[in-house]
A and B are shown apart, each in its own frame.
Chain A
Amino acid sequence: MASRPLGVVIVDDEELARELVREFLVSHGDVAVLATCANGFEAVEAVAEKKPDVLFLDVQMPGLDGFEVLELVERDAEGRPAVVFVTAYDQYALRAFDANAVDYLLKPFDRVRFDMALERARSRIGAARPAAPAAPLREGPLRRVVVKAGTTVTVLPVETIDFVKAEDDYVLLSAGGKEHLKQQTLASLEDALPKERFVRIHRSYILNLDRLNKVEQGDTGAPTAVLADGTRLPVSRAGAQRLNEILGR
């Protein structure tokens, strides 16, 4: 461990905040800053490319916020860096520890506090990491879904999603004719999506109600949801019941 320098990536949308972290790191001879990122997209890319040991991560950033970055990094097979959140907001602390962050630095902080966070991160590296919880804490329903294909990150506001289909360990999100694959279970996504807009119409399907044109009874008696663009999706009996409830019939 001592032979290889500790790889660090710094993510903050403010240049001065990035500089401060970098400066505090200078006195630690065994640390190498692999990249500094001004937004979440750069962060996801940098983590995939440089595979850092430690990630100093701001929460409120344009594009992707810190938690969304973490969500996308999480899915990488190589394992995730030790994450230290750095923010002026104390209200995210619970969510941060829920997401298995090793520390939570509140701006402004001094060198003593910073070194403590770095030590914590160092001691966490190589140790077995607890699995991320199935349903992370969230403030209210999901407003957008982030997906990553290779190094391309796409942000889908929930209102742009037409429907979601379960595919083994993944979900296939259909939005405006484009399909996006994301590693997540349909049940956990259903849980996070706003209830007044999205309905589980079938074991394998979640539908955006705004896209529903009509429900048809097929020849066999099994109902089918017909979307505004003509797409046809199967509706289970329980799904039909949920649809009826939410549409008030």
Chain B
Amino acid sequence: MHPLLARPGAFAVYLIAWVPLTAILGALLVLAGGMTALEAAVVSPLLTGVYAFVCLSSWYLCVAFPIRTSRLFSLAVTLTVASVVAASLWVLWGATLGGLLALAPPFATLPEALRRATLVVLLLGILLYLLAVALHYLLAAARDAKEREEREVELKSLARDAELQALKERLNPHFLFNALNSIGSLAASRPEEARRMCALLADFLRTTLGLSGKAEIPLSEEIALARRYLAVERVRFGDRLGFTEDLDPAAADSLVPPLLLQPLVENAVKHGIARRIDGGTLTLVTKRFGDRVSIVVENPADDDAPPAAGTGLGLVNVARRVSASWGDAGRFSARRVDATFRAEIELPART
């Protein structure tokens, strides 16, 4: 939709701007064409009235040739051709108008006067058309700026949603309740261990809350958080929960949104290892190859779970965050292969 036609107020301002232009045209017709004041007063509004609408067409030119991406040469050629064509049509319209008006006796000399002013009208037409182009490029720029702003706001709110969701999961009450129950149990029999568990839990919560304000953190910090979480869960599950890691130092500084990995680690414990009688080992592997980083979380799957499992809400959120952060450049997959559940994030390395 044309931005001026879309808003009646703006369109009125545009038309009013043509009033002084009409006066200038009239003056030129008198000076260059030798018209009488009456002739010029009748002809020039009829000329500019039509040309005001012709100039609106430059909007589509602006849309087709965005100023940022078009090559200067092709832009110059296009604008020249378009303005000359528009101005020529205007001259032609003037000649037609003159012919019609000459049928009335007071305007008998009008065609002759218009012919004398042809060059002036043509040049003015080109100038006015180029002015209209400039105006429309400004309108396009304003529109783009507004759209960009809206997109940024949307992206920000998506990121905030994900962060809130992650925080909620973080303060997952069952995790807390179970940890507190462990502390209660240790308090009587092994008070020293109860204190250690308090410290571990506080450490984990403090780190989590500290992350919430940040847009991006190095992968190594995210992994440090996972270790703290697993330390708490190891007190609960004891030997049933094992943890091994194979970390590529070249991937450590790569930036990720905070709490990206955490849902995968929690899933592995909650839906995988905790559901197995003998427990199992969670494996965390990071690898950098070229300008890509891969993060893999693996755990032995729950024997009784249907093999299709892996579409849980936590995993959907991870997928959403990966695509919000990296678009098509980020990849996320989570599936069960035989007895192993494997979640992988692949992302562009950025430090």
Contacts and interface: CB of A to CB of B under 8 A. Distances in A.
B304 interface: yes
A168 interface: no
Interface stretch (A13-21, A48-56, A95-103, A134-142): A13-21
Given A19-B189, A62-B277, A107 B181 contact: yes
A14 B273 CA distance: 13
B178 A88 contact: yes
B184 A108 contact: yes
Interface string A4-44: 00000000011111011001000000000000001101000
A129 interface: no
A20 B238 CA distance: 15
Interface string A42-84: 0000000000000000001011000000000000000000000
Contact of B182 (A17, A106, A144): A17
A190 interface: no
A20 B181 CA distance: 8
B236 to A, nearest CB: 5
A17 B185 contact: yes
B177 A14 contact: no
B236 A14 contact: yes
Given A88-B174, A143-B306, A19 B181 contact: no
A157 interface: yes
A89 interface: yes
B235 A16 contact: yes
Given A20-B185, A108-B184, A14 B306 contact: no
Contacts of B274: 13, 60, 62
Contacts of A14: 178, 181-182, 236-238
Contact of A107 (B177, B240, B277, B306): B177
B238 to A, nearest CB: 6
A41 B277 CA distance: 10
Contacts of A89: 174
Contact of B238 (A15, A63, A144): A15
Interface of A: 13-17, 19-20, 23, 38-39, 41, 60, 62-63, 88-89, 106-108, 110, 143-144, 155, 157, 159
28 contacts: A14-B178, A14-B181, A14-B236, A16-B181, A16-B185, A17-B182, A19-B189, A20-B185, A23-B185, A38-B277, A39-B277, A41-B277, A62-B274, A62-B275, A62-B276, A62-B302, A63-B304, A88-B173, A88-B178, A89-B174, A106-B177, A107-B180, A108-B180, A108-B181, A110-B184, A155-B304, A157-B306, A159-B306
Interface of B: 173-174, 177-178, 180-186, 188-189, 235-238, 240, 274-277, 302, 304, 306
